């Protein structure tokens, strides 16, 4: 399993470095080990490092083999689609294409064509996503978390912008204190479920 030092991790420019208190906390945590694996980071108490920060830290090829990152992205996308009563079959097809690519059944060019097709429908999904947030904040928050982890695990700048648009549309639809509390709880629960899933994948 891959491992990196604290100095290598700081080279990834975590936002903690921009806050003096968090930067000190990072030094304290980082000093506990000479090198850190993804499992080490994921096992940190949530009181020390949030689930969201753990996922941000490890969902990158410096920590995890790219093949696992791609499969994790597929599984997060599966989780998101499972929260939708009638998922868009075009997105389902793209996930299937990614898995075929991982098995060597389609070429890079064929996968790229599938991803370009997917980007063409993301904007309409963002609108649907925002409408869903109005009716079920817990589901939409979990969906947002799953989408974001899928994006982070299979990073691509143009896709990231599309997912961020979906996220922001859903969040804008939930802006009041009660809705925000439900949203944040559901999102954190989904993040914890993703951490468990990733731990199982790395241990398996």
Q: Check residue 9 and give its pLDDT.
A: 96
Tell me the β-bridge partners of 4: 36
Query: In three state form, how does the secondary structure of 4-66 look?
Result: ECHHHHHCCCCHHHHCHHHHHHHHHHHCCCCCECHHHHHCCCCCCCCHHHHHHHHCCCCCCCH
**138 against 49, higher pLDDT:** 49
**123 against 188, higher pLDDT:** 188
pLDDT band at 137 (very low <50, low <70, confident <90, very high): very low
Please tell me the least confidently modeled range out of 65-69, 92-96, 133-137, 187-191.
Answer: 133-137
List the chain domain ranges. 6-58, 66-203
* Mean pLDDT value of segment 55-62: 91
pLDDT band at 42 (very low <50, low <70, confident <90, very high): very high
Q: What is the pLDDT of residues 140-191, one digit of tens each?
A: 555 555 555 555 555 444 445 545 555 555 555 555 655 666 667 777 888 8
Cβ atoms of residues 158 and 119 within 8 Å: yes
**64 against 171, higher pLDDT:** 64
Please tell me the least confidently modeled range out of 15-19, 44-48, 153-157, 192-196.
Answer: 153-157
Report the candidate in 185, 179, 171 with the shortest Cα–Cα distance to residue 51.
185
Report the candidate in 19, 14, 12, 139 with the shortest Cα–Cα distance to residue 85.
139
Q: Distance between CA atoms of 159 and 184, rounded to whole angstroms? A: 24
Q: Check residue 169 and give its pLDDT.
A: 52
Q: Distance between CA atoms of 181 and 132, rounded to whole angstroms? A: 17
Mean pLDDT of the chain: 77
What one-character-per-residue DSSP string does 142-202 give?
HHHHHHHHHHHHT--HHHHHHHHHHHHHHHHTT-SHHHHHHHHHHHHHHHHHHHHHHHHHH
Tokens of 15: 């936002």
pLDDT band at 135 (very low <50, low <70, confident <90, very high): very low
Q: Check residue 116 and give its pLDDT.
A: 74
| pTM attached to this predicted model | 0.74
* Mean pLDDT value of segment 118-125: 61
Q: Report in angstroms the alpha-carbon separations of 75 from 42, 58, 93, 172.
A: 18, 16, 14, 26
Q: Check residue 180 and give its pLDDT.
A: 63
């Amino acid at each position: 399993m891959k491992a990196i030092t604290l100095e290598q991790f700081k080279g990834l420019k975590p936002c903690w470095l921009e806050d003096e208190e968090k930067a000190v906390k990072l030094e304290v945590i980082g000093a506990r080990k000479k090198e850190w694996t993804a499992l080490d980071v994921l096992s940190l108490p949530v009181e020390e490092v949030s689930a969201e920060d753990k996922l941000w830290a490890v969902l990158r090829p410096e920590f995890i083999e790219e093949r696992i990152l791609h499969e994790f992205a597929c599984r997060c996308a599966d989780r998101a689609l499972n929260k939708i009563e009638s998922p868009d079959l075009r997105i389902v097809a793209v996930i299937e294409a990614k898995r075929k690519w991982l098995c060597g059944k389609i070429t890079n060019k064929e996968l790229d064509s599938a991803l370009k097709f997917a980007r063409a429908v993301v904007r309409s999904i963002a609108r649907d996503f925002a409408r869903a947030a109005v009716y079920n904040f817990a589901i939409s928050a979990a969906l947002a978390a799953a989408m974001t982890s899928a994006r982070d695990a299979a990073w691509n700048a143009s896709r990231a912008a599309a997912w961020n648009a979906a996220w922001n549309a859903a969040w804008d639809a939930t802006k009041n204190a009660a809705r925000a509390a439900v949203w944040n709880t559901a999102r954190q629960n989904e993040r914890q479920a993703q951490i468990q899933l990733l731990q199982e994948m790395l241990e398996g």
